Amino acid sequence: MAAENHRPAKRTKYDFTNDVTVLIGKDEKKFALHKSLICKSSIFFWAAYSGVWKESKEATVRLPETETQSFTTYVGWLYTERVDLLEEPEQKLPWTDKKGETLPHRLPLTRRAIDCFALGDMLQDVNFRNAVITELMCICKMGDTIPSLRSITCMWEVIPQNSKMVELIAEYWAAECSTKEFDASVDMLPDGFVKMLARVGIRDKHMASDMRKPSMREKWRYHEHASENEKCK
Ligand SMILES: [Zn+2]
């Protein structure tokens, strides 16, 4: 696309006088944001607000398919450089208990990370995608979280199969899953994901089991960096 030469610049000077509006979800929740900040980070917004598209004439972009929660996390990261997957209000999801009352529910963290990564993919914001990966690795370091079957099937629908998030989740799965759990879920897992698990298993077969889990020391393996030099240490 035309935006290929665009490189999000470092966060130095911003013009905070120029606002844009983003309307999120079917109910068009309104976010008023600084144009320079959002356009430096996201190629999608840069294209939307810089004359490449028809919409650029207006200062409003509508994203009806985007979840408010993921976008709130994105905006939080834009302004603070922190990805908050843990801080999340309870949500009313459209499922009910036996009495017909809507149940409050917290999405599993891996599922939240997947949704945020998918948003980063849609907004073409590589720095946000890398930040989501790092945050998920921090959370997974604290406990033996194994992504749920539901998270994986969801991931397969919303994230490109060759993305770093898919690779990371497959490696966590291969490291944490027991053969019993594998047998119970293999028929429900996407075929492509099972192939990835097999590949990870073969690659890591001579490694001690505690070495197989993705390590924060090697987080560059799961980031997208433009060049070798840019790799985080
Ligand atoms: Zn990195």
Q: Residue 53 is part of a domain; what is its CATH number?
A: 3.30.710.10
53 and 72 in a single domain? The answer is no
**Residues spanned by the domain of 27:** 17-65
pLDDT-derived band at 130 (thresholds 50, 70, 90) equals: very high
Using the mean position of ligand 1's atoms as its centre, give its distance from the Cα of residue 232 in Å.
Answer: 4
User: How many whole angstroms from 94 Cα to the centroid of ligand 1?
Assistant: 37
* 134-187 pLDDT, tens digit each: 999 988 877 666 788 888 999 999 999 999 999 999 998 888 888 998 999 999
> Does 139 reside within a domain?
yes
Higher per-residue confidence, 149 vs 229: 149
Average pLDDT over residues 10-16: 58
Give pLDDT, residue 227: 78
User: Could you give the CA distance from residue 47 to residue 42 in angstroms, rounded to a whole number?
Assistant: 9
For the stretch 98-123, pLDDT in tens is 566 554 455 678 888 999 999 999 99
| Number of domains the chain contains | 2
If asked whether residues 192 and 103 sit together in one domain, one would say yes
Least confident of 5-14, 83-92, 146-155: 5-14
Per the prediction, the chain carries an average pLDDT of: 82
Residues within 5 A (CB) of ion ligand 1: 220, 223, 232
Helices (H) and strands (E) in the chain, counts: 10, 5
| One domain for residues 55 and 70 | no
Distance in Å, CA 125 to ligand 1 centroid: 14
1 within domain boundaries: no
CA quadruple 89, 94, 95, 97: dihedral, nearest 10? 80
In a domain, residue 223? The reply is: yes
Strand partners, 22: 31, 61
Residues 70 and 147 in one domain: yes
193 CA to centre of ligand 1 in angstroms: 24
